[in-house]
Amino acid sequence: MIPLEYYLILSAFMFVTGVAGVLTRRNAIVVFMSIELMLNSANLTFVAYSSFLGDVVGQLFVFFVMAVAAAEVAIGLAIIIAIFRNKVTINIDEINILKW
């Protein structure tokens, strides 16, 4: 049996990669995909603990996270399309009307 730590380290690596993507990429869609990567790494931790502790709640939580992620993607991509319609760019450096 593979130790729990292996799964957790894989999850940590994926999370850090996602953070790096959010901080360094300028394309709003790629930033969004990096957030999906971070959500998935959290899901991996949930499933790993759920499986190793014999508790089904972790897997239920992953189910809910997936539903929320689907909702988030639908709304987020609609917002990106609305922004693109107004500013003809999805570069997040140029979308700064909420900055002061």
Partner 1 sequence: MTLEQGLFGFFALIAVASSVLMVTRKNPVISALFLVLNFGALSGIYILLRAQFIAVVQVIVYAGAIMVLFLFVIMLLRPEKEKSYFKERPQAKFLAIVIGLLMFAQIIYAVFFAATGKMVDDARRVEIGTIEYIGRELYTTYLLPFEAIAFVLLTATIGALVLSKKKLD
What is the contact surface with partner 1 in residues (CB under 8 A)? 1-2, 4-10, 12-21, 23-27, 29-30, 32-34, 36-37, 40, 43-44, 47-48, 50-57, 59-60, 62-64, 66-75, 77-82, 84, 88-91
- Residue 21: CB atoms within 10 A of its CB come to 18
Q: How many residues does the chain have?
A: 100
Please state the closest distance from residue 39 (CB atom) to partner 1, in A: 9
Which whole-number Å values give the CA distances from 83 to 33, 69, 97, in the listed order? Answer: 17, 20, 11
User: Considering beta carbons, is residue 3 or 100 the nearer one to partner 1?
Assistant: 3
